[in-house]
């Protein structure tokens, strides 16, 4: 104890210890500042060198030198990484100051991300730690850096402009008509891509325009010289696709119903002397309607079953929900895996029933004579008597074949009489006196009728009437007894109902012709951005239809799409047994969008989710996706939700990928910024 007390009371020892401690602290703070400054300087050089290496890799990849052209994707990536390492080491000047250094490059179709980690050796901090008796505590300072190079088409660009031309584009914002603001905005993009010369052309910028409303007019697609860009081989000309003729019943030349023969929509158009197919197609059966599938190919089971699988790299709550909410398949995989289902069925909107009085539709009890044989009963009915009044596409007056004194009656009545006997046999349990007095067993026809909402003999006659198209003449490949009669087909009625007048404008290098096409667009119809985007993908795809000359892995060409809308997706409810208006996915009752999707609200939600899934698959193929919402209100729940959908659809949820344009000036800026982004390569992080 005396020795300890003596040591404590020794003033000379305390002064020495105090001095050493103070010196270590001064060295720790002042020297530490020097060490951290050195670290920051080294890290700044590290980031600059990473940026330079990443840019060099992207530029090498886009220049596509001869040595790389025959490489596989894996070989190409390895070659780029080796090139990046060499480029980095040539530029980084502080390598001897770092230990445990690691350099990696994450390479995908859209981005190159250099990543480096290491430790810098300290000078003053290490000395201070030794004085404090803790060697190794501050011998090194760790550091890491990550940059991101967004790969761009500093080389050639293949671009699809998917433009909303719905009726709301005829409205005004700040005194400017929205469709006119769109045209001005596209002009700004064309100036940036092709230059200021109004007549400029460029073999390095190929632009397609996809106007969309409820449908996309793909079948009338044209090149910029006005020649057809759609091939007949892409259409289901032989009526083999599952949904071809689904709304109609084939009656042969003897008046017999034949459910094994599909009604060919092209034959229906041939039956109408005043009308031809305008070019709109029905969609492929789900999920082929949202997958890049080659026309005429046989979809594999694995491709079909991947309908709810998120692509690698896809993320975000909206995207996750879209895939998790993907409806179950309505058709079996065995049915879908047929090449017949990868060809397109031309739109043919049915003629709606239109009985208005007993002088037009014989719905009273009456005896009819066919071939000298009397038939007594009630066969005909007015849909409004059942509370249905949503039929709005009546373009053939039914009285021409439903009234006994008119020519078409002799064809329709015997067909209806057979159907009535089948209904009496299978489903005519209510008001049997209004059925044919006879019975006919035909379970296939009974099922067919039931699928279309028929559950009573007379009361649902108009459902059968809508499906009736006349008798088939195999010689002329036309139907007689309905569509060959007089009609009132016009812009608001007919088999081409809601088909946009403007077709797809495909693959132009001519600025003036693109300008003229865009400036010819007129607004009309409802919004279906999922359908628009799917055709935007198809014009960029190397697969048929359209067969782009440039593959997804062709690094010389950057594929990009701009999707613009001014409204949320819609499909109208209809007070009919079908439940909705007709669209590219059929009627709601059919559940073509997937099992359980059969109301207008469910279909609208599925439009949104389908759009997100389409965008995600496009991005996985290396396509840059830019989206623009125009004139939408955050206070409107539907419009606010549309913004979320378009953010999730874009390659990133902020500019320069997603733009919200409140007015025409903002829309012009958005298109100009997208063009500027397309023609440059830059460090994005």
In sequence order, the β-bridge partners of residue 162 are 210, 563
| Mean pLDDT on 545-564 | 93
pLDDT mean over 464-490: 96
Which pLDDT value is given to residue 134? 55
What is the distance between the alpha carbons of residues 448 and 454, in angstroms, rounded to a whole number? Answer: 9
How far is Cα 541 from Cα 533, in angstroms, rounded to an integer?
12
pLDDT at residue 133 tops 70: no
> E strands along 216-264, which residues?
217-222, 249-251
Q: How far apart are CA 363 and CA 358, in angstroms?
A: 6
Locate 429 and state its tokens: 């349990």
Q: What is the pLDDT of residue 646?
A: 99
Residue that is written with structure tokens 């209806």 in the block: 416
**Of 585 and 431, which is predicted with more confidence?**
585
Per-residue pLDDT at 432 exceeds 90: no
Cα–Cα distance list, 325 to 38, 229, 540 (Å): 53, 36, 27
Which of 197-201, 280-284, 372-376, 526-530 is least confident? 372-376
Nearest to 429 by CA among 454, 398, 392: 454
Nearby residues of 510 by Cβ (< 8 Å), 6 or more positions away: 201, 224
Q: Are 615 and 561 in contact (CB under 8 A)?
A: no
Tokens 């089971």: give the residue.
301
Give the pLDDT mean for 71-92. 91
Confidence of residue 257 (pLDDT cuts 50, 70, 90): very high
Decide if 606 contacts 571 (C-beta within 8 A). no
Does the N-terminal peptide bond of residue 287 adopt cis geometry, omega within 30 degrees of 0? Answer: yes
Q: pLDDT above 70 covers what percent of the chain?
A: 83
Backbone angles phi, psi at 219, to 5 degrees: -70, -20
Rounded to whole angstroms, the Cα distance separating 590 from 584 reads: 12
Quickly name the fold that domain 157-271+278-349+495-683 has.
Rossmann fold (3.40.50)
Give the mean pLDDT of 476-494: 95
Helix or strand holding residue 77 (H, E):
helix 73-91
- The string of DSSP codes covering 186-221 is HHHHHHHHH-S-TT-B-TTEEEEEEEESSS-EEEEE
Distance in angstroms (rounded) separating the CA atoms of residues 345 and 537: 19
- Helix or strand holding residue 471 (H, E): strand 468-473
Predicted pLDDT of residue 317:
97
Distance CA 476, CA 277 (A): 18
Average pLDDT over residues 654-678: 96
For the cut 70, the answer to whether the pLDDT of residue 36 exceeds it is: no
Percent of the chain clearing pLDDT 90 (strictly above): 62
Distance CA(435)–CA(463), nearest Å, equals 15
Mean pLDDT on 440-465:
83
Higher pLDDT, 579 or 111: 579
Q: Indicate the DSSP class of residue 264.
A: P
When pLDDT is cut at 50, 70 and 90, the band that residue 553 belongs to is: confident
Highest mean pLDDT among 54-68, 85-99, 332-346: 332-346
Q: What is the pLDDT of residue 10?
A: 52
Residue of 555, 550, 543, 406 lying closest to 485 (CA atoms): 406
* Residue 267, C-beta contacts closer than 8 angstroms, at least 6 positions apart: 472, 477, 478, 479
Peptide bond into 545 cis (omega under 30): yes
Cβ neighbour number for residue 443 with a 10 Å cutoff: 10
Average pLDDT value for residue range 644-655: 96
Q: pLDDT by residue (tens digit) across 299-323?
A: 999 999 999 999 998 999 999 999 9
**3-state secondary structure (DSSP) of residue 300:** coil
Compare 96 and 267 and report the one with higher pLDDT: 267
Query: What end-to-end distance do the CA atoms of the chain give, in Å?
Result: 66
Q: Where exactly are the structural domains of the chain?
A: 2-150, 157-271+278-349+495-683, 366-480
**Mean pLDDT confidence for 97-122:** 85
4 pLDDT band, cuts 50/70/90, is: very low
Average pLDDT over residues 646-663: 97
**What are the C-alpha distances in Å from 560 to residues 302, 539, 629?**
27, 11, 17
Residue 604 or 147, more confident: 604
Give dist(CA 307, CA 291) in Å, integer.
8
Average of pLDDT values for 47-58? 88
Distance CA 479, CA 338 (A): 28
Distance CA 172, CA 181 (A): 9
Q: Please, are residues 438 and 414 in contact by the beta-carbon 8 Å criterion? A: no
pLDDT of residue 462: 83
Q: How many CB atoms lie within 10 A of CB 328?
A: 12
Task: Give the pLDDT confidence score for residue 555 in this predicted structure.
Answer: 73
Residue scoring higher pLDDT (93 or 25): 93
**Average model confidence (pLDDT) for the chain?**
88
Mean pLDDT of the 602-617 span: 98
In which band, very low, low, confident or very high, does the pLDDT at 68 lie, cut at 50, 70 and 90? confident
Which residue do the tokens 């009526």 mark?
239
The pLDDT value recorded for residue 138 is 63
Threshold 0.95, pTM exceeds: no
State the angle between helix axes of 124-131 and 32-63 in degrees (0 to 180), rounded to the nearest 10.
140
Specify the pLDDT at position 9: 52
* Per-residue pLDDT reduced to its tens digit, 135-145: 555 677 788 88
Among residues 528, 538, 534, which one has the least CA distance to residue 500? 528
Q: Are 157 and 675 in contact (CB under 8 A)?
A: no
Identify which has the larger pLDDT, 488 or 31: 488
Report whether 260 contacts 314 (CB < 8 A). Answer: no
Q: How far apart are CA 454 and CA 435, in angstroms?
A: 13
- The confidence score (pLDDT) of residue 1 equals 43
- As a whole number of angstroms, the distance between CA 293 and CA 584 comes to 17
When pLDDT is cut at 50, 70 and 90, the band that residue 2 belongs to is very low
Determine the pLDDT at residue 439.
Answer: 80
Q: What is the DSSP letter of 235?
A: B
Please, which residues have CB within 8 angstroms of residue 655's CB and are 6 or more apart in sequence? 673
């Amino acid at each position: 104890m005396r020795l300890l007390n003596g040591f404590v009371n020794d003033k000379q020892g305390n002064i020495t210890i105090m001095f050493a401690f103070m010196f270590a602290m001064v060295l720790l703070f002042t020297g530490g500042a020097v060490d951290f400054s050195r670290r920051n300087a080294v890290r700044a050089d590290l980031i600059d060198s990473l940026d330079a290496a990443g840019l060099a890799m992207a530029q090498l990849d886009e220049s596509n030198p001869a040595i790389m052209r025959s490489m596989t994707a894996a070989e190409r990536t390895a070659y780029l990484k080796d090139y990046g390492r060499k480029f980095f080491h040539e530029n980084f000047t502080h390598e001897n100051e770092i230990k445990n250094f690691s350099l990696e490059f994450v390479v995908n179709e859209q981005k190159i991300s250099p990543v480096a980690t290491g430790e810098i050796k300290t000078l003053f901090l290490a000395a201070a730690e030794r004085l404090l008796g803790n060697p190794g505590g501050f011998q090194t300072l760790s550091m890491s850096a990550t940059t991101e190079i967004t790969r761009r088409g500093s080389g050639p660009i293949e671009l699809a402009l998917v433009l909303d031309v719905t009726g709301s584009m005829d409205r005004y914002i700040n005194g400017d008509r929205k469709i006119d603001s769109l045209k001005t905005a596209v002009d700004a993009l064309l100036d940036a891509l092709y230059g200021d010369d109004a007549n400029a052309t460029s073999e390095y910028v190929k632009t397609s325009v996809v106007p969309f409303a409820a449908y996309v007019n793909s079948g009338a697609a044209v090149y910029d010289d006005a020649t057809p860009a759609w091939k007949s081989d892409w259409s289901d000309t032989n009526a083999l696709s599952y949904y071809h003729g689904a709304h109609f019943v084939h009656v042969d030349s003897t008046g017999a119903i034949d459910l094994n023969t599909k009604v060919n929509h092209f034959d229906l158009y041939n039956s109408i002397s005043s009308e031809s197919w305008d070019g709109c197609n029905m969609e492929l059966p789900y999920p082929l309607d949202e997958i890049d599938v080659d026309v005429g190919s046989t979809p594999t089971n694995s491709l079909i079953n991947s309908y709810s699988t998120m692509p690698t790299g896809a993320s975000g709550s909206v995207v996750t929900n879209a895939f998790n909410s993907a409806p179950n398949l309505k058709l079996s995989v065995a049915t879908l895996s047929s090449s017949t289902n990868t060809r397109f069925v031309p739109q043919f909107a049915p003629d709606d029933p239109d009985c208005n009085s007993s002088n037009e539709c014989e719905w009273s009890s009456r005896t009819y004579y066919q071939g000298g044989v009397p038939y007594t009963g009630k066969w005909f009915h007015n849909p409004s008597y059942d509370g249905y009044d949503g039929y709005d596409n009546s373009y053939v007056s039914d009285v021409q074949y439903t009234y006994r004194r008119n020519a078409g009656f002799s064809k329709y009545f015997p067909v209806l009489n057979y159907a009535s006997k089948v209904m009496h046999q299978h489903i005519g349990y209510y008001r049997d006196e209004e059925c044919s007095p006879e019975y006919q067993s035909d379970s296939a026809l009974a099922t067919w009728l039931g699928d279309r909402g028929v559950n009573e003999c007379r009361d649902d006659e108009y459902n059968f009437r809508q499906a009736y198209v006349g008798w088939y003449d195999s010689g002329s490949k036309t139907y007689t007894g309905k569509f060959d009669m007089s009609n009132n087909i016009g812009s608001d009625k007919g088999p081409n109902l809601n088909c946009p007048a403007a077709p797809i404008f495909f693959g132009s290098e001519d600025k003036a012709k693109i300008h003229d096409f865009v400036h010819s667009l007129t607004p009309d119809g409802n919004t279906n951005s999922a359908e628009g985007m799917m055709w935007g993908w198809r014009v960029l795809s190397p697969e048929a239809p359209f067969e782009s000359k440039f593959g997804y892995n062709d690094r010389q060409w950057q594929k990009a799409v701009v999707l613009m809308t001014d409204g949320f997706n819609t499909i109208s409810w209809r007070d009919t047994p079908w439940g909705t208006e007709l669209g590219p996915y059929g009627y709601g009752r059919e559940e073509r969008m997937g099992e359980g999707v059969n109301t207008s609200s469910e279909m609208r939600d599925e439009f949104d989710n389908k759009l997100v899934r389409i965008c995600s698959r496009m991005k996985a193929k290396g396509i840059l996706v830019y989206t623009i919402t125009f004139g939408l209100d955050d206070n409107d729940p539907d419009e606010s939700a549309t913004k979320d959908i378009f953010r999730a659809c874009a390659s990133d949820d902020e500019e320069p990928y997603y733009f919200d344009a409140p007015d025409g000036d903002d829309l012009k800026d958005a298109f100009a910024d997208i063009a500027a982004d397309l023609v440059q390569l830059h460090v994005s992080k």
